[in-house]
Amino acid sequence: MISKTEEKWKINRQKNEFARSIPCKISPDNTLKVIHKTHLNCAKEIELCIYETHTFSLSNPDAFEDAQIVIETVELVRPYLEKQYPEFYQEYDKWVELDKEATRKARLEKILGAIANNMAEIPELKEEIIKLGKMLENGEDIRRYCGLE
């Protein structure tokens, strides 16, 4: 059986691979008119240029192999290119939502696993979980009880 964490990583990889397939990426081209130029937040040395031809380039095309660069670039070019490539962004949004849901499920699995793995060593854990359950049923905020505020 595949774990939720493994499933999350698989979906994340698929999302990134899909994002790399963005149809408007080209090599830097000095002959095209640039309508927007910026440096990426996740890689300050990488410059992103968006051209009037509804295409874009990165100053280092090999950088597009980095998942952070891929996602930041796809998001940065969106306001300029989504109208020309709506199908791409619709599919990309589906992958983003799948990734978010997989992340949520993986976190739940980790929390439940931590509880199960610590039950024998922390006997009062069961009582605390029951107490938290009752607080949640009563609509109480458990953050302070858990030491988070």
Q: How far apart, in whole angstroms, are the C-alpha atoms of residue 131 and residue 128? A: 5
As a whole number, mean pLDDT of residues 97-102 equals: 98
Strands 47-51 and 55-58: antiparallel
Which tokens hold the place of 2?
């595949």
Residue type, 148: L
Which tokens hold the place of 135?
């607080």
Q: Report pTM.
A: 0.85
pLDDT at 69: 97
Query: Over the stretch 76-91, which tens digit does the pLDDT of each residue have?
Result: 999 999 999 999 999 9
Query: Over the stretch 28-60, which tens digit does the pLDDT of each residue have?
Result: 999 999 999 999 999 999 999 999 999 999 999
Which residue in 54, 59, 50 sits closest to 88, CA to CA? 54
pLDDT at 22: 97
Query: pLDDT class for 149, splitting at 50, 70, 90?
Result: confident
Which tokens hold the place of 23?
């149809």
* Residue percentage of the chain with pLDDT more than 90: 93
What's the mean pLDDT when you consider all of the chain? 95
